[in-house]
Amino acid sequence: MSLSSQNIVTYSPAYTIVPTYECFNRCTYCNFRSEPAKSLWLTLGAAQEILSQLKNQNICEILILSGEVHPDSARREPWFERIYDLCLLALEMGFLPHTNVGPLSWTEMEKLKSVNVSMGLMLEQLTPKLLNTVHRHAPSKLPEVRSQQLQWAGELKIPFTTGLLLGIGETESDWWETLAAISESHKLYHHIQEVILQPHSPGTVQTLDAPPFNPHKLPEVIAKAREILPADITIQIPPNLVKDENWLLACLAAGARDLGGISPKDEVNPDYPHVQEQELRNILEPGGWELVPRLPAYPQFDDWLDAGLLQKVKQWRRRFKLPPAQ
Ligand code: SF4
């Protein structure tokens, strides 16, 4: 089996832990957040209990996904320390952490690099127009702040995942501009491993009254993204947000090759349960696709990981019988 085979689709066997749901942003499409200081933080003891139950389940990735504490808040430092400690705990218990907790300072990002095999931040859309609509009360959604995160990840040599949120009031040309910006950043640093194309899928909590992104449009966006993005960036789509099997297959035909982290719950879209592995196989195999697990760090980034992280990555590669890095 070779991961370069044309008919292979990857996914990451994952579990999401949430340090806190509190967030100082108020994106109108959000189905995740609670008010600042109104959500109890996950304790290390509770996290240890959760992680203990995941042992021997072939779950490699722990996605650490958090609401944001304001950079000027006195609680920012304890928030960051909790995230760092959760990463360390996950690592020590044999998992591979991937953190996505909003914009970080350079120092925070540098510190998290030592306890993560990769990290992520959605660019969503770079158009400033959204600051007047869905991001009117979301100070950390400033396009220049998010672009800078991509740049810093590159300078720090952090394997990085980013992506677009589609259907939140942007235009088609906004998609191509955001994809072009990702492409330009990657050409400078070669650090983007995946780009997620996430269709807006309304949930029961959000205040935004907008229709879902038309899934029939997604293959077209994927095909154009494939033209814009360098070939070594994988395009990821979330299968729970593309419910029609034929359109999921159409997305693969258009160039998507990864289905992201498959965990018991999609914390960002809690109204859309993840399609589990066997069900995905049942959809993909008749279409000629083979579903194989992958790790949260792609093999081309082995040289960027410190020795301890690389050792754990290699253990998982052996466990999943994945080919060694070239
Ligand atoms: S989408 Fe993310 S940044 Fe926006 S309010 Fe929700 S948790 Fe906060």
What confidence score (pLDDT) does residue 5 get? 62
Question: Best substitution site from 16, 24, 25, 125 to test ligand 1's pocket, by max atoms within 8 Å of Cβ?
Answer: 25
- The finding on whether 138 has its CB within 6 A of some atom of ligand 1 is yes
As a whole number of angstroms, the distance between CA 258 and CA 294 comes to 9
**Nearest one of 209, 192, 189, 191 to 200, comparing CA atoms:** 209
Structural contact between residues 105 and 148, judged by C-beta atoms closer than 8 angstroms:
no
Structural contact between residues 88 and 115, judged by C-beta atoms closer than 8 angstroms:
yes
**Nearest one of 71, 84, 15 to 44, comparing CA atoms:** 84
Number of H helices, E strands in the chain: 9, 9
Q: Where are the alpha helices (DSSP H) in 162-244?
A: 172-189, 218-228
**Nearest one of 161, 164, 13, 181 to 101, comparing CA atoms:** 161
What confidence score (pLDDT) does residue 6 get? 78
For residue 68 the two structure tokens come to: 């944001």
Report the separation in Å between the CA atom of 14 and the middle of ligand 1, taken as the mean of its atom positions. 21
**Nearest one of 70, 82, 12 to 316, comparing CA atoms:** 12
Atom of ligand 1 nearest to the CA of 140: 3
N-to-C CA span, the chain: 14
Report the separation in Å between the CA atom of 83 and the middle of ligand 1, taken as the mean of its atom positions. 17
What are the CA-CA distances from residue 197 to residues 103, 194, 220, 278 (Å)?
A: 20, 10, 12, 23
For residue 194 the two structure tokens come to: 């995946």
Binding-site residues, please?
Answer: 23, 27, 30
What confidence score (pLDDT) does residue 324 get? 80
- The finding on whether 27 has its CB within 6 A of some atom of ligand 1 is yes
Q: Where are the alpha helices (DSSP H) in 138-171?
A: 143-155
- The finding on whether 32 has its CB within 6 A of some atom of ligand 1 is yes
One pLDDT digit (tens) per residue for the chain, 326 residues = 344 467 999 999 999 999 999 999 999 999 999 999 888 999 999 999 999 999 989 999 999 999 999 999 999 999 999 999 999 999 999 999 999 999 999 999 999 999 999 999 999 999 999 999 999 999 999 999 999 999 999 999 999 999 999 999 999 999 999 999 999 999 999 999 999 999 999 999 999 999 999 988 999 999 999 999 999 999 999 999 998 999 999 999 999 999 999 988 888 999 999 888 999 999 999 999 999 999 999 999 999 999 999 999 999 999 999 988 76
Atom of ligand 1 nearest to the CA of 138: 4
Binding-site residues for [4Fe-4S] cluster, please?
Answer: 23, 27, 30
User: Which residues have a Cβ under 8 Å from the Cβ of 12 and sit 6 or more positions away?
Assistant: 60, 61, 260, 261, 262, 293, 294, 295, 296
As a whole number of angstroms, the distance between CA 107 and CA 156 comes to 10
What confidence score (pLDDT) does residue 4 get? 44
Helix (H) or strand (E) holding 83: helix 76-92
For the stretch 37-46, contacts whose Cβ atoms lie closer than 8 Å and that sit 24 or more positions apart, written own/partner, are 37/75, 39/67, 41/79, 41/82, 42/17, 42/18, 42/82, 42/86, 44/82, 44/85, 44/86, 44/89
Structural contact between residues 113 and 156, judged by C-beta atoms closer than 8 angstroms:
yes
Report the separation in Å between the CA atom of 326 and the middle of ligand 1, taken as the mean of its atom positions. 38
Atom of ligand 1 nearest to the CA of 29: 1
Structural contact between residues 57 and 102, judged by C-beta atoms closer than 8 angstroms:
no
Question: Nearest residue CA, atom 3 of ligand 1?
Answer: 25
